[in-house]
Structure 1
Amino acid sequence: MTTALRLLGLCLLLLISDARAAQLRADLHESVSTIDVTVKDFYGKQETGKVAITQFSPNGEGPFPILILNHGRATSDRGTPPRFRYTRQVAYFLKRGFIVFVPTRIGYGQYGTAFDPEYSGKCRRKDYVPMIQAARIEESAVLDYAKRQPHVDPHRIVIVGQSVGGFVTTSVAAENPDGVVAAINFAGGSGGDPATHPGVPCESDRLEAMYQRFGKTARVPMLWIYTQNDQFFAPQYSSAWHAAFVHAGGNAEYKLFPPFGTNGHFLFGNGTDIWEPTVSAFLDREGFSR
Structure 2
Amino acid sequence: MIGERKSERAATSQLCAKAITVAIALSIGMVTSAISGDLVQERQYLRVNIGGKDVRLEALFVKRADARGRLPIVFFNHGRPAYREMTLDQSLTVNDPGINLLADMARRGWLAVAIHRRGYGLSDGPAQADSSCAADAFMAWMNADADDIEASIGVVAKRPDADPTRMIAVGGSAGGAASVALGARNLPGLAAVVNIAGGEHWAGCAAVRESIPVDFRNLGARSHTPNLWLFAKNDLNHPPDQIEVMRSSFAGAGADLKLVLLEPIGEDGHTGMYSIVGRTQWLVELDSFLRAHNLPTWPISNVDVVLQKLQWPQSLRAYVQAYLAAPGEKALARTPGKQNASYQSALTLDDARKLALDACQRKGEPCVIVMEDDRWTGSL
In which range does the TM-score fall when normalised by the shorter chain? 0.7 to 0.9
Percent of aligned pairs with the same amino acid: 21
Indicate conservation of the 8 Å contact 2:74/2:113, yes or no.
yes
**1:154 equivalent among 140, 150, 164:** 164
Q: How many Å separate the matches in 2 of 1:256 and 1:192?
A: 19
Is 2:79 aligned against 1:72? Answer: yes
CA shift for structure 1 position 25: 4.9
- Aligned length, in residue pairs: 256
Aligned counterparts of 2:109 and 2:237: Cα–Cα separation in 1:
32
1:11 aligns to what? none
Q: Does 1:53 align with 2:62?
A: no
2:212 to 200, 207, 216: 207
Q: Residue 262 of structure 1 aligns with which residue?
A: 267
Q: Deviations over 1:86-121 (max 9, x none)?
A: 5521121112100011121112222356x2325212
SS at match of 1:109: coil
Q: Is the 8 A contact 1:170 1:185 kept in 2?
A: yes
Matched, 1:32 2:52: no
Contact residue 118 and residue 132 of structure 1 kept, 8 A: no
Paired with 2:93 and 2:118, the residues of 1 have a C-alpha distance of 12
In structure 2, the partner of 1:183 is 193
What is the rounded CA distance, in whole Å, between the counterparts of 1:208 and 1:37 in structure 2?
Answer: 33
Aligned pair in 2 of structure 1 residues 239, 134: CA closer, same or farther (>3 Å)?
same
In structure 2, distance between residues paired with 1:119 and 1:154 = 32
| Superposition pairs of residues 1-290 of structure 1, within 5 angstroms | 25-27=34-36, 28-33=39-44, 34-39=46-51, 48-58=54-64, 59-76=66-83, 77-83=86-92, 85=94, 86-111=98-123, 115-117=126-128, 119-121=130-132, 123=133, 127-191=137-201, 203-270=208-275, 271-288=278-295, 289-290=297-298
Q: Which amino acid aligns with 2:181?
A: S
Closer, same or farther: CA 242–125 of 1 in aligned 2, 3 Å = closer
Contact 1:132 / 1:171 at 8 angstroms: preserved in 2? yes
Where does residue 14 of structure 1 map in the other structure?
A: none
TM-score (norm 1): 0.80
Which residue number corresponds to residue 42 of structure 1? none
Secondary structure in 1 aligned to 2:140? helix
Shift of the 125–214 alpha-carbon distance from structure 1 to 2, 3 Å rule, reads: closer
CA distance in 1: counterparts of 2:92 and 2:131, whole angstroms: 22
Where do 5+ consecutive residues of structure 2 fail to align?
Answer: 1-30, 299-380
In the aligned structure 2, how far is the partner of 1:202 from the partner of 1:73? 21
Flag structure 1 segments of 5+ consecutive residues without an equivalent: 1-21, 40-45
Larger of the two Rg values belongs to structure: 2
Q: Could you report, residue by residue, the CA deviation over 1:57-78 in whole angstroms, capped at 9, with x for unpaired residues?
A: 1222132111001111111212
Q: 2:48·2:54 contact (CA, 8 Å) conserved in 1?
A: yes
- SS of equivalent to 1:78: helix
What SS does the aligned partner of 1:150 have?
coil
Provide the secondary structure at the position in 2 that maps to 1:269.
Answer: coil
Name the aligned partner's letter for residue 109 of structure 1: G
RMSD over equivalenced CA pairs, Å: 2.5
Contact 1:118/1:130, CA 8 A, preserved across alignment: no
Supply the AA of the counterpart residue of 1:51.
L
- In structure 2, C-alpha distance between the alignment counterparts of 1:208 and 1:48, rounded to whole Å: 36
Partner Cα separation in structure 2 for residue 205 and residue 125 of structure 1: 7
Q: Secondary structure at the match of 1:30?
A: strand
Aligned equivalents of 2:206, 2:240: Cα separation in 1:
11
Secondary structure of 2:265's aligned partner: coil
Q: What residue identity is the alignment partner of 1:82?
A: S
